[in-house]
């Protein structure tokens, strides 16, 4: 007896609607996975940056112990060939000199040197800029709080060519009030920092989940909510 052939219409399989549902579910799960992975990666970089800040903080503390308890000046001044005055060295190089005493500052300002030596002072949030043509000497991703010197040096807007104004003058740590809530340096796109920089476009890539890492005068590091920065007066204005 011949068996009745099975018709094509009775074969089990997915309908077009079922396939579309499965594709949508897979796409949604993939989107969630990528989102979580990206967020975890950013948080990992944030944690690494806090560790870097603590290392930089130790170097600043070492500088202070060897310089009458003063924090590094924001920068120095230098006279150019035409007689005008400009920025000489910022605090990055002043502190870096302790780590690399035998390396000239001009060498440390070379992006190739940074790429080959991977100095720990470089902010991992912008480390991708090394060798990409975006590297700028002195902008290693940590900005010293310039407001401290301005408020405690009684400069009153006075500036004489060659003296650099308040930014080149030493500030004793002992004169800084609220050391546990006064920010010493912060993750920033320039060597100096004040709250006015929070709205700059180049500051936004350094903000993760609405927070930015900062190092305080008393030696601890934490992440700050950007929206509350000015309200809490962390830069001691």
Tokens of 35: 């989102």
Rounded average pLDDT over 52-75: 91
pLDDT value of position 26: 80
pLDDT tens digits for 1-30?
555 555 555 556 668 777 777 777 887 777
Per-residue pLDDT of 176-209, as tens digits, reads 888 998 999 998 888 888 888 888 888 888 888 8
DSSP state of 183: E
What is the per-residue pLDDT for 131?
Answer: 47
Q: Higher confidence at residue 36 or residue 45?
A: 45
Q: Which residue has the higher pLDDT, 57 or 42?
A: 57
d(CA 53, CA 187): 9
User: What's the pLDDT at 161?
Assistant: 52
Q: Is the pLDDT of residue 80 over 70?
A: yes
Report CA 68 to chain centroid distance, whole Å.
28
Strand partners, 187: 142
Instruction: Provide mean pLDDT across the span 137-161.
Output: 73
Q: What is the pLDDT of residue 186?
A: 92
CA angle 95, 55, 199 (to 5 degrees): 80
The CA-based angle 193-199-200, given to 5 degrees, is: 70
| Local structure of residue 104 (DSSP, 8 states) | -
Chain centroid offset of residue 35 CA = 23
What pLDDT is attached to residue 215? Answer: 94
Q: What is the mean pLDDT of residues 142-152?
A: 86
Please state, rounded to an integer, the average pLDDT across all residues of the chain: 78
- Total-model pTM: 0.76
More confident residue, 172 or 98: 172
- Domain boundary assignment for the chain: 19-232
Q: Is the pLDDT of residue 123 over 60?
A: yes
């Amino acid at each position: 007896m011949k068996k009745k052939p099975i018709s094509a219409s009775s074969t089990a399989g997915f309908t077009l609607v079922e396939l579309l549902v499965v594709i949508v579910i897979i796409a949604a799960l993939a989107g969630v996975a990528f989102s979580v992975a990206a967020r975890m990666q950013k948080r990992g970089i944030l944690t690494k940056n806090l560790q870097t800040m603590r290392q930089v903080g130790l170097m600043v503390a070492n500088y202070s112990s060897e310089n009458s308890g003063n924090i590094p000046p924001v920068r120095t001044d230098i006279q150019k060939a035409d007689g005008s005055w400009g920025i000489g060295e910022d605090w990055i190089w002043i502190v870096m000199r302790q780590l690399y005493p035998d390396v000239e500052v001009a060498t440390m300002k070379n992006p190739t040197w940074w790429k080959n030596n991977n100095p720990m002072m470089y902010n991992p949030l912008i480390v991708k800029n090394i060798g990409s043509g975006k590297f700028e000497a002195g902008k290693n991703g940590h900005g010293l709080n310039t407001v401290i010197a301005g408020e405690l040096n009684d400069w009153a807007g006075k500036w004489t060519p060659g003296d650099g104004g308040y930014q080149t003058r030493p500030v004793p740590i002992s004169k800084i009030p609220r050391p546990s809530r006064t920010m010493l340096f912060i993750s920033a796109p320039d060597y100096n920092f004040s709250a006015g920089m929070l709205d700059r476009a180049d500051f936004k890539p350094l903000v993760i989940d609405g927070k930015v890492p900062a190092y305080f005068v008393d030696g601890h590091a934490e992440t700050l909510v950007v929206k509350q920065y000015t309200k809490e007066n962390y830069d001691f204005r």
